[in-house]
Structures are given as C-alpha cells and as structure tokens.
C-alpha cells in the first residue's frame, strides 16, 4: 500500500497557487532579472568560446538532421581533413535539437538567448515543485526556487548552455523521492525520463543525480521514516535500473565513443578556478584578477537571514539532518583535491583527491560545480525556514504580504540586469562565400589556438564550408586532430613571416578550395593570473555587477580591434603572392581562391 506524501503544515496562509501561475511568476522574473536577454535581438550575452560553440551546436544539428541529412555524431565540417567524433563533444541535444528548429525562424544568437531565459524560468519552477513536496510550504518553495535559479552560480553558467539547463536535476530528485514514498509506474517512468534528459544536457548533472539517488537510498529512513527501508529501496533500485537503460539509449553516442577508444591524452590537472576556496567560490572571468566570491554572496545574504530567522522550521523539517549532510559533503567535495585559503595552497589533501581516479568521478574535473548540490540542499532548508517565519503572523493577508516582500528582496539581491548584449557581427564576404558553390573547403587564417578557435565555429555558421580546426570539447580530440591542428598552426606562423610556400603546399595537399583571412583575429585564450592572495568579495551579488557579470561573460567584444597595419600588410602580401586578389572581401574578411 502506497504511503501518502508528508502532510502540509497546518499554518501557511491560503492554498498553494496553481503551478501554471507559479511558472508565470518565474517567467516574468527571468525576463526582468536577466534583462535585456529576452529582447536584445542580434546579440549574445557572452563572447566566451563555450557560448560560440553552443551557437554552432544548433547550426550543426540543423545541417545534419534537417538540411543535408548528414551523420549527426561525426562531422568533417570541423577538423578537416580527419573530421571529429561528436560523441564526446558537448552537443547537448536537449538544447541543440529545439535550437536547430528555432533557427528556421530566428538567428542562432536569438535562439541562444531565448533558451537561456527559458532555463531560468523552468529551473525556478521545477525547484518550486520539489521544495513544495519536501516541505509542504508554498511560500517558502517560491523563495527557494528564486534562490536556486537566480543564484550567481546559474549566471556563471550562462556561456555554457548545457550547464545552464538546471531544471531537470530538481525534477529527478522529486521523481526519486516520490518513487521511494509512493511507488507507481508513473513515478518510476519520471525518474527514467529525467535521467535521460540529464544525459542529453550535461553529463555532470547526471553524475550529480546518481550521487543524490545513492544518498536517498542510504538515508531513506532519515527523510521518510513512514516507509520501510526495503520497500523504498526496492522501488528506487527498480527505477534506477530503468533509468540506466534510458540513459544508455539517450547517451549511446557518448558510451559508444568511450568504449571505442581513448581520446588524445590531455592534462587532467585542474585549471585555475576549477575548484573552490575555503573562503569562497573562485570566479574566473575575462577582465581583472580572479576574485573569490564569498559563500554568503554565492548562497545569498537573504537566504542566510531566512535560515537564521526560521531555524525552528528547519529543526522541524522531516529529514533535516539528511539535507544538512548532503550540503556539507558537497561543500567539502567542491573544495577540490587540496585545501586552499584565499588562494594559498595548504598542502592538506581533501576527499576529492581520493575519488579523482574513480571511473565516474574522473569526469568531474571542475570540482567547483559541486556548489550546485549545496544550493539544492540549502534551498529545501530555506523553504522550511520561511514556513516558520510566516507561521508567526496572525492572518493569511499578512503572510501573503510578507512572502511578496521577501520575494522582491530575494530577486533584488540576485538581479543580474543589465546582462551584456554584444552584437554578433555579420560579414558580406562570408555570405558571398556561402553562395559560392565552387568552394567546398576553406581554411581561416591566422590559425587560432584552442579557445580562440571558437571564432572559427562562428564564421562557419555563415559560410557553411568544411574547414580545418574549430572548437569542440577537448575530450573529443584525438591524436590526429591535435597533429593536424599543430600542422596548420606552424604553417600560419611561417606565412605571417612572409613566406607562403608551406601554406600553398599544405592547401594543395588537403584539397582546400579557398583561404580566408580574418582581419580582426581573436587573441589566444589565456588563463587569468592568480595572485598570491585572493581578495574576497562580500557584498551582495547585485552590487558586484560590472566585475562579476560583465567580467565573467566578456572575453572581448565580437568586433575585435583590427590587425596592426604592418601585420595585415604581411598577410595580404603573402596571400596575394600565392593566390592573387581576393574574390570576396569586406572590412573583416578577405577570401582568396586557392586555384
């Protein structure tokens, strides 16, 4: 016999609002707090490589599935002449598939922005559903959804559309809890569906979901003492088996790529900012030094205030110890393999060092993202705490007013507006190149290094031709890909010194039809410098807008500074010596036919 969900507390005010109305509230907040993302046509909120490659993802899915009928999980449009397998690449079909359809009616950059705003709205809504189920508090769940979806961490993920897809993790936890408590085919299928959706959005979140499932299995008696452990565990394990099958189907290209052979050996050393500091979150961006954003700023000063004021509600929450332990364990794992304080290594090993070599955990190179699980657990505690705060008020009207005021304060603290809106440049030369059916393969010079090479993906969206290089997830690269990339990089350097002989030779050898000169090339991607001691930012997030919002999303405007005249002259002279005058040209690109 199924056990009922926990009853709602006796005092909260009026009945919970309709779920559709709550979604509208989150949608309105998403538009307002990320303004002008929803309406800034022709712009992007970030110019970082991950943002550009997400534009390419939608373009590629459209080309492969709807335009040319190509193989989806392998492309020769990038990394010509060897091509690249996309099973290991973060294609994020949950975004790129609808994105590919929307690009029939809108530019790719507009689709990127719309999907981002949608993720903010749906992520808040799904967390509301989870918090409402766990605590029975509608008002507290509303605040918890705001704390979850408008957290600084969510903005940090804006360039990475796959990571900004936060809505499925709360849904998975909700489905797993309902499966344990209630059973039923519907809940079991819900677990499997959410796991499959996570597999097609971000493998990180699939691992996090599995970890939470394991924790729910171990701690079932702590948060659901009314359900015998064997019964709940049997239900959850059954749903886990079905989920494994669903994930295998949804993520088969990744599974197939992993089992087919290892990628090129890449450094597994964590980059600067891939783990957290005891004092705060390492916020790396494109301008200035890397700051430490204090934990109160990342979690929210309003969140901490409500937890303090409503501590009795937390103490009365069923399973409070379980969620506190989840938050603490995730926090410690997020500190990485070695304890650092204000940027200074202490030499003290941490648990993450013990799990780095495990098959699943080895995928989690960015330990800092464990903060997401801290947010999830504290959000549920927050919902319970707010229920205690409003329970002290005498009338339903007073409770509604208090919740509305708190909602506005929560939104104000987490306001990211105005989110940067950089116009995406368009090139008549590339548009003419796209219409030239006599050219099928091009190479863009100068040949950029990884990271900066994402600008090659952006150009390909316009010209549509096969090309060497291009940005894909590092795990997708093989030894052959790296060899060819280095080959073109060497030729690029010799050509810039005024000798096009090696370029002509390689162009002929690789069947390149045209050479494209980028007159405003990006610089090389560089890691931010790490001073001996990092300064901690304690102010509320809304007061750190320029440093955190702009600094994180900006890696240089789309329209970069033109080449120095001397450098441009060297390139122009070398290419005209090799191929004559350009056949297409504008202020940004010159296209030379390689006949």
Region 386-398: mean pLDDT is 94
Q: What is the pLDDT of residue 525?
A: 55
Q: What is the pLDDT of residue 2?
A: 41
Distance CA 70, CA 446 (A): 29
Distance CA 595, CA 588 (A): 22
Decide if 10 contacts 316 (C-beta within 8 A): no
Among the ranges given (78-82, 268-272, 560-564), the one the predictor scored with the smallest mean pLDDT: 268-272
Q: What is the pLDDT of residue 256?
A: 74
Q: What is the pLDDT of residue 559?
A: 73
Q: Which residue has the tokens 């003492």?
A: 225
Region 99-119: mean pLDDT is 96
Among the ranges given (154-168, 251-265, 373-387, 498-512), the one the predictor scored with the smallest mean pLDDT: 251-265
First vs last Cα of the chain: how many Å apart?
77
Q: What is the pLDDT of residue 585?
A: 97
Q: Above 90 in pLDDT, residue 459?
A: yes
**What Cα–Cα distance (Å) separates residue 475 from each residue in 337, 355, 361, 459, 478?**
21, 20, 15, 23, 8
Which two three-digit tokens encode residue 425? Answer: 């440049």
Model confidence band, residue 557 (pLDDT cutoffs 50, 70, 90): confident
Q: Above 70 in pLDDT, residue 348?
A: yes
Q: How many CB atoms lie within 10 A of CB 308?
A: 10
Pairing assessment for the beta strands 514-518 and 280-282 based on DSSP bridges: unpaired
- Tens digit of each residue's pLDDT (9 = 90 or more) over 186-214: 999 999 999 999 999 988 899 999 999 99
Distance CA 151, CA 145 (A): 10
Q: What is the pLDDT of residue 526?
A: 58
Model confidence band, residue 522 (pLDDT cutoffs 50, 70, 90): confident
Model confidence band, residue 96 (pLDDT cutoffs 50, 70, 90): very high
SS3 500: coil
Query: Which DSSP state fits 471?
Result: -
Which two three-digit tokens encode residue 505? Answer: 């030779």
Decide if 40 contacts 417 (C-beta within 8 A): no
Distance CA 506, CA 503 (A): 5
Region 296-314: mean pLDDT is 97
- Tens digit of each residue's pLDDT (9 = 90 or more) over 397-447: 999 999 999 999 999 999 999 999 999 989 999 999 999 999 999 999 998
E runs forming strands in 76-212: 84-85
Chain-centre distance for alpha carbon 63? 23
Q: What is the pLDDT of residue 528?
A: 58
Q: What is the pLDDT of residue 362?
A: 64
Model confidence band, residue 12 (pLDDT cutoffs 50, 70, 90): very low
Q: Above 70 in pLDDT, residue 15?
A: no
Which contiguous run of DSSP H or E holds residue 517? strand 514-518
Q: Above 90 in pLDDT, residue 453?
A: no
The proportion of the chain whose per-residue pLDDT surpasses 70, expressed as a percent, equals 91
Region 498-504: mean pLDDT is 94
What size, in residues, is the chain? 595
Model confidence band, residue 9 (pLDDT cutoffs 50, 70, 90): very low
Region 545-573: mean pLDDT is 88
Distance CA 520, CA 589 (A): 8
- Dmax of the chain from CA atoms? 85
Which two three-digit tokens encode residue 567? Answer: 């450098």
Query: Which DSSP state fits 91?
Result: -
Pairing assessment for the beta strands 442-445 and 514-518 based on DSSP bridges: parallel
| Cα angle, residue 467 at apex, residues 463 and 472 outer, rounded to 5° | 100
Q: What is the mean pLDDT of the chain?
A: 90
């Amino acid at each position: 016999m199924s056990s009922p969900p926990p009853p709602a507390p006796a005092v909260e005010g009026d009945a919970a609002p309709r779920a559709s109305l709550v979604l509208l509230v989150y949608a309105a907040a998403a538009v307002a707090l990320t303004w002008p993302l929803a309406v800034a046509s022709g712009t992007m909120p970030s110019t970082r490589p991950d943002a550009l490659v997400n534009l390419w993802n939608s373009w590629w899915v459209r080309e492969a599935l709807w335009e040319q009928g190509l193989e989806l999980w392998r492309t020769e449009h990038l990394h010509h002449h060897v091509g690249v397998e996309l099973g290991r690449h973060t294609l994020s079909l949950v975004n790129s598939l609808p994105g590919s359809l929307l690009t029939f009616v809108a530019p790719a950059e507009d689709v990127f922005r719309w999907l981002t705003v949608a993720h903010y709205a749906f992520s808040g809504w799904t967390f509301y559903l989870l918090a409402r189920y766990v605590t029975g508090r509608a008002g507290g769940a509303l605040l918890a959804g705001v704390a979850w979806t408008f957290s600084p961490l969510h903005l940090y993920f804006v360039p990475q559309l796959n990571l900004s897809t936060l809505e499925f993790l709360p849904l998975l936890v909700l489905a797993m809890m309902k499966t344990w408590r209630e059973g039923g085919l519907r809940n079991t299928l819900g677990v499997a569906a959410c796991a499959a959706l996570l597999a097609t959005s971000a493998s990180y979140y699939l691992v996090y979901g599995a970890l939470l499932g394991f924790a729910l299995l171990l701690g079932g008696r702590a948060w659901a003492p009314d359900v015998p452990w064997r019964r709940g565990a049997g239900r959850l394990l059954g749903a886990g088996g079905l989920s494994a099958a669903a994930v295998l189907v949804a993520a088969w290209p990744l599974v197939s790529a992993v089992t087919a052979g290892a990628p090129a050996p890449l450094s597994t050393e964590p980059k600067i900012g891939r783990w957290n500091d005891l004092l705060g979150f390492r916020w790396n961006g494109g301008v200035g030094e890397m700051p430490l954003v204090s934990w109160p700023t990342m979690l929210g000063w309003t969140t901490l205030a409500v937890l303090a004021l409503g501590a009795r509600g937390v103490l009365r929450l069923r399973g409070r110890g379980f969620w506190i332990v989840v938050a603490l364990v995730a926090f410690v794992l997020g500190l990485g393999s070695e304890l650092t304080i204000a940027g200074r290594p202490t030499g003290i090993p941490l648990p993450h060092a013990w799990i780095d070599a495990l098959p699943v955990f080895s995928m989690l190179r960015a330990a800092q993202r464990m903060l997401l699980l801290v947010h999830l657990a504290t959000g549920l505690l927050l919902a319970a705490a707010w229920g205690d705060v409003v329970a002290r008020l005498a009338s339903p009207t007073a409770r509604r007013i208090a919740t509305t005021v708190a909602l506005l304060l929560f939104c104000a603290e987490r306001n990211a507006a105005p989110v940067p809106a950089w116009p995406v440049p368009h090139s008549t030369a590339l548009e003419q190149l796209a219409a030239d059916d006599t050219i099928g393969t091009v190479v863009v010079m100068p040949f950029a290094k990884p990271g900066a090479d994402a600008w090659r993906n952006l150009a390909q969206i316009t010209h549509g031709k096969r090309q060497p290089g291009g940005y894909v997830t590092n795990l997708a690269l093989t030894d052959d890909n790296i060899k060819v990339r280095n080959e073109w990089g060497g030729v690029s350097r010799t050509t810039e010194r005024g000798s096009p002989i090696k370029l002509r030779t390689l162009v002929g050898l690789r069947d390149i039809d045209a050479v494209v000169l980028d007159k405003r090339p990006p610089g090389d991607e560089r890691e931010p410098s790490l001073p001996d001691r990092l300064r901690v930012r304690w102010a509320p997030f809304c007061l750190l807008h320029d440093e955190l919002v702009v600094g994180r999303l900006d890696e240089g405007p789309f329209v970069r500074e033109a080449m120095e005249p001397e450098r441009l002259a060297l390139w122009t002279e070398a290419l005209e010596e090799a191929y004559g005058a350009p056949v297409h040209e504008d202020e940004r690109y010159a296209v030379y036919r390689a006949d």
